[in-house]
Structure 1
Amino acid sequence: MPSALADRVSRLARADHSATRLRELVLAEIRQSMPFAGHVFALTDPVTAVATAPLADIPGLDMSRLPELIRARYLTPLNRWDTLRGTGAHSLLDATEGEPDRSLLWRTVQRKLGITDSATITFADRYGCWGFLELFRIDESPFTRRELTGLTALTAIVTTALRRTIGATFVESDAQLPPPGPAVVLLDDTLRVRPHPAAAAESLLRLLPPDEPIPPVPVSVCNAGAALLAAEAGTPIGAATARIHLGGNRWITVKADRIGDHDIAVALEPSTATERLDLFARANGLSARESQVLFLLATGLDSRALAAELVLSEQTVNDHVKAILAKSATRTRRRLLSRVLGVA
């Protein structure tokens, strides 16, 4: 089973799929090998590991309780995706030695949903953390060691494929899509949204990308807020910020900060050039030197100026540029900068 599953996933991972379609196909292949009643398959910001675009099916969950579930997940470091990097798939029952009530998440939310076991796997490499998968069981037997081994065999395959889908979102600028405008959302400590004025609501609507099964902006607001709560509780996952793809070549950054004693302010703004450059470099697997060259290219330097800045020969600089173009499947420097910066 492990090698057969990995072989099937490897074949589909080599095709050009969106991040959503890739995850749907991976889930379908896994279901052929092992049963599960529900799932959460999320993308994450590669630097902070804060979840962004979820693909989820949690049987019995009242969506009004979603903020409660997200909050509990971040406050439960046991089997949390950031703590499992490089360790393969782990089950809830194994991690708790058969006592799932040791998990805050299970105790406060999952038990009421009838979940009896879960398996979690993190998709990360040296460039960052790109996503995680949680599978849930309700009536089925607990996850076996053989099943967890099969899931672990998918780690490198799916990680590379997810990273590639993020790189593919950096298309040449599409003038038909409206630029994302800034917005601020206020949350209380339960991650419930405070009432906001009409202008703020209108700004949020403009940030909703089309054709997503679960709108990633509201969910990402909760995830950023939950990351802040986790840091305050002494179980940090990373900085309370994440970059979210909005369709086309649009990216926004969400960032949560505490204001006063009770409210959390989550700001949503277009991702800066630096934030986009970093994400593009990671998604395309650029080396440290290639990333440095890319950042300087974005400031408008030509090869001669780059060579002087980096104390390299022009030929070496040009070799680095060629490597960047090859890794990102881009034909010219002009197109490269259009993709990276999101401008025509």
Structure 2
Amino acid sequence: MSRPRSRLEAVRERIERSCAAGGDARTLRVRLLAEIRRVVPFDAYAWVMTDPETTVGAAPLADVPALPELPALIRLRYSTGLNRWTTLAEDPVALLAAATGGDLRRSRLWREVLSRYDVSDAVSVVFRDRFGCWAFLELWRTRGATFGPADAAFLRDVVVPATEALRRSQARTFAEPVTARLPGPLVLLLSPDLEVIRQTPGTSDPLRVLQPRDDGGPTVPAAAYNVAAQLLAVEAGVDAHEPRARVHLAGGLWLTLRAARLGPAGDGGDIAVTIEQCSPADRLALFARCCGLSDREAEVLGHLAAGADTRVVAEQMFVSAHTVQDHLKNVFEKSGTRSRRALLARALGS
């Protein structure tokens, strides 16, 4: 007679089914959070999709009590190396209480923001594979509750299937036709404290799509806060990644957000965040990562996008035409396409 499934095993099976079922990144995260909560209860969360190359966030899904202090919360999260998602290389899960030796005052983020909301512990989880960093998750507990080894162990089990599912959710966006275009670059001007100063007309529209509000309130430019906070982190020497993030908006349309200081970094000048449609080269590189292409497969794709035929690709890569065809077959399979024309249309958004 078979052994009855435990509650933990049942949750793990549902998580694996949810990951296999696909769906867009937002729907997937909502489903997974519901299952995670059955085993690892939490009082608040922020699950942020990231640019796989720069690791900078741009598509958050969050329910935190500190919404009025969101600029400060994001700025401080990027400015500290303690349990920062970019530092979790050996272990994808880190507990704040454990990292501070039980003294949360050692965390600047806790001292300046989280302590006011009675946060007693936080767990950080990074979703990374060999193709890039796809997201990071933070869960909070309040009123003296902390996370323990069992919580961390369960979250580690979630990381591998969730990472692949999140990457595939991004890959599926390229199959959608690009039905809209951004009418030129948009600009959002932020103060050094990430407060909105002014913006070009129409800037709120894509930001509202990226961070919708159920209560119909004003736009929360969380995507802009993230790239600006990364700029501050670079200036402070906390992290070296470029303050840039590519993010899916809708209907196959991908945007690139960049942050730059107006004036020298040391003079405390304002920060300009630009929002524009992904360039063909940026989109092509992102497509290769999302589809899980190997370096050689990505190289073949790059040559094809430049207009090369099989013979020219073989010459440039110093391989046989047969090898090029083998690489191309793998690219078709991983991208869900059947012809070069369809492949380039997805990769370049044309």
CA contact (8 A) 2:300 2:324 kept: yes
Matched, 1:342 2:349: yes
- The answer to whether the 8 A contact 1:180-1:206 is kept is no
User: How far did residue 151 of structure 1 move?
Assistant: 0.7
Give the C-alpha shift of residue 211 in structure 1: 8.4
In the TM superposition, what whole-angstrom CA distance separates every residue of 1:169-221 from its partner, at most 9, and x where no partner exists?
Answer: 1024244x23453112111110111123xxx1224425643784489982111
2:163 pairs with 141, 159, 162, which one? 159
1:322 aligns with 2:329: yes
CA distance in 1, matches of 2:10, 2:211: 32
Of residues 265-274 and 67-76 in structure 1, the stretch that sits farther from structure 2 once superposed is 265-274
| 8 Å Cα contact 1:228/1:257 also seen in 2 | yes
Query: 1:180 and 1:291, CA in 2 relative to 1: closer, same or farther beyond 3 A?
Result: farther
RMSD (Å), alpha carbons: 2.0
Matches within 5 A, 1:1-344: 3-59=9-65, 61=66, 63-139=67-143, 141-175=145-179, 177-179=180-182, 181-196=184-199, 200-205=200-205, 208-209=208-209, 212-213=212-213, 218-236=221-239, 238-260=241-263, 261=267, 262-343=269-350
**What's the offset of the Cα at 1:52?**
1.1
Task: Answer whether contact 1:48 1:238 (CA < 8 A) is retained.
Answer: yes
Distance 2:213 2:172 in 1: 20
Equivalents in 2 of 1:50, 1:75: separation in Å?
13
Aligned counterparts of 1:246 and 1:181: Cα–Cα separation in 2: 15
- TM-score, normalised by the number of residues in structure 2: 0.91
Partner Cα separation in structure 2 for residue 131 and residue 86 of structure 1: 16
Distance of aligned partners of 1:226 and 1:272 in 2 relative to their CA distance in 1, 3 Å threshold: same
Unaligned runs of 5+ in 2: 1-6
**1:204/1:250 Cα in 2 relative to 1: closer, same or farther (>3 Å)?**
same
Change in Cα spacing, 1:237 to 1:149, as seen in structure 2 (3 Å) is farther
Matches of 1:172 and 1:148 in 2, distance apart? 36
TM-score calculated relative to the size of structure 1: 0.92
The answer (yes or no) to whether the contact 1:36–1:137 under 8 Å persists in 2 is: yes
Identify if the C-alpha distance between structure 1 residues 211 and 113 changes in structure 2 by more than 3 Å, giving closer, same or farther.
Answer: closer
Q: Supply the distance in 1 between the matched residues of 2:206 and 2:109 (Cα, whole angstroms).
A: 33
CA distance in 2, matches of 1:221, 1:300: 35
Q: How far does the alpha carbon of each residue in 1:50-93 deviate from its partner, in whole angstroms, 9 at most, with x for none?
A: 1110000013x2x3311011111111210111111341311110
CA contact (8 A) 1:185 1:267 kept: yes
Question: Is 2:22–2:165's contact at 8 Å kept on the other side of the alignment?
Answer: no
Gaps of 5+ in 1: none
1:280 & 1:15 partners in 2: Cα distance?
21
Cα 1:88–1:172 shift into 2, 3 Å: closer
